[in-house]
A and B are shown apart, each in its own frame.
Chain A
Amino acid sequence: MAEPARARPKPTPETQHFWDGTAAGELRLQRCDACANVYFPPRPFCPSCASRKVSIFKASGKGTLYSYVINHRPAAPGFTPPYAIAVVELEEGPRMMSNIVDCPQTPEALELDMKLEVAFEKLDDKITLPLFRPAKG
């Protein structure tokens, strides 16, 4: 029997561009054309000023570690504990939940405010997850 897989996101019409982006190796955010607010998660209007004129752009993929837990139990399907569940503060402002890869899952290795960069992990042909790793250099 196959190992249980991690929860797989199912895009909606409003979020499809984000998941198309990660599949193409891009982290896509939205910016309001009226007030320049950059926001996440995706929606076709600005949650700051309500303008429907918004643009999708490719984010730098750079961020810092805002906070995290290292989950021991119970573990989600598809995860081997202990594993960190992190919130990353993107260079452009918004924050997003993610995992930190290429890094020991320990309090010593996971320092708040450490620099991170996006690392894409392909789940299948349609879904690629935006994960993060310690920034090089």
Chain B
Amino acid sequence: MRRNAVAVVGAAETTELGVIPNMSQIQLHADAALNAIADAGLKLSDIDGIATAVETPQQIAHYLGIKPTWVDGTSVGGCSFMLHVRHAAAAIEAGLCKTVLITHAESGKSMIGKLPRSTPPDSLNGQFESPFGVYGPPSMFPIPVLRYMKTHGITHEQIAMVAVVQREWAAKNPRAMMKAPITVEDVLNSKMIAYPFRILQCCLVTDGGGALILTSADRAKDFPNKPVYVLGTGESVETPMVSQMETFDSSRAFRTAGPLAFKEAGIAHKDVDHLMIYDAFAHLPLYGLGDLGFMPHEETGKFIADGHTRPGGKLPLNTNGGGLSYMHSGMYGMYALQESVRQMRGLAPAQVKDAKISVCHGVGGMFAASGTIIFTNEK
């Protein structure tokens, strides 16, 4: 795709984040969408493209009263919204639509109007994973991590530091769920969930949502906010079964999507001012740093433990506090995108000074899917 041909011109989260017992899941979508439309200074009737995940595009379009000529229901887990940005940019470039709304919301905590997730017993997951006691993401997502640690020489303390550093960022974000400082000892003494991971290495469970509005860069300058351009994009999927990943030393979906985005953007790693790596669990930033090519996997744990990603470090990472400390309603990719957009607008609570390029990398399922978006505020 052409660099900087499409821009984010509207971005907002739900009015509240955290525990929202007075809204159903589709109303959370609508709340985020209406906030994003107001942020862009648009009317609902200006939207001619819609993308969403888990909930169907028809559900959200009908509820909002939108009459789209382009829809995308790609639903590959928490990075679906990265893929929506990529697909929307291509669609706008191709002239299929002019103004796309992407929504996410999940009543992850309050469970109001939330669609049930189930694994049929005759699916491959149902036959070859469910019988062995997997029960929700905490029992599945960390399965690769002991192998990763052994192969690359990563320590428990280094992975605990991921949670410690992100809490430092969360402390700077008024809307973050968890702001109290924590230590490596706190992490390693917290309640065991699925060895080797304890509760402070697992994402939060919250309610909330977010929405983005994209249009062509030519039109973007006429909007009230500073345009945030889509510089590069990548996507891939691997397998819905964590046990069937090619290797646990790395994620194939990550190392496909990430480099695609860097190549499209035409940038080097040293050009990156701000980085978001979807952290449903504490090992994901390590996989991301390695698979996106920032450094060999052997160095990822030490890099974080040495403080290079904390406030004031040379590679600010997950500056909202991440899924571990900011919020995680079930599909966190949208919140990572929101933070990249805030950073590129210069309006983030923990603003990285003079940041011009932000890389936003998402995961879907248990390493099942991946999407990478590179943003810039300079055309």
A residues adjacent to B (C-beta < 8 A): 6-12, 15, 19, 40-41, 66-79, 82-83, 85-87, 95-99, 107, 112, 129
Contacts and interface: CB of A to CB of B under 8 A. Distances in A.
Nearest to B124: A41
Interface of B: 119-122, 124, 126-136, 138-140, 142-147, 150, 191-197, 241-244, 248
B121 A67 contact: no
Given A11-B127, A41-B244, A85-B139, A69 B132 contact: no
A66 B245 CA distance: 12
Given A99-B132, A112-B147, A73 B193 contact: yes
Contact of B135 (A68, A76, A99): A76
Contacts of B140: 85
Given A85-B133, A99-B133, A69 B142 contact: yes
15 contacts: A6-B131, A9-B121, A11-B122, A67-B143, A69-B145, A69-B146, A71-B195, A73-B193, A74-B135, A76-B133, A76-B135, A87-B242, A97-B128, A107-B195, A112-B150
A67 B128 contact: no
B121 A7 contact: yes
A67 B126 contact: no
B133 A79 contact: yes
B297 to A, nearest CB: 15
Residue in A11, A66, A69 whose Cβ sees the most chain B Cβ within 10 Å: A69
B132 A98 contact: yes
A77 B138 CA distance: 15
Given A66-B147, A72-B192, A96 B128 contact: yes
B195 A85 contact: no
A97 to B, nearest CB: 4
Nearest to A78: B133
A97 B122 contact: no
A112 B146 contact: yes
B131 A129 contact: yes
A84 to B, nearest CB: 8
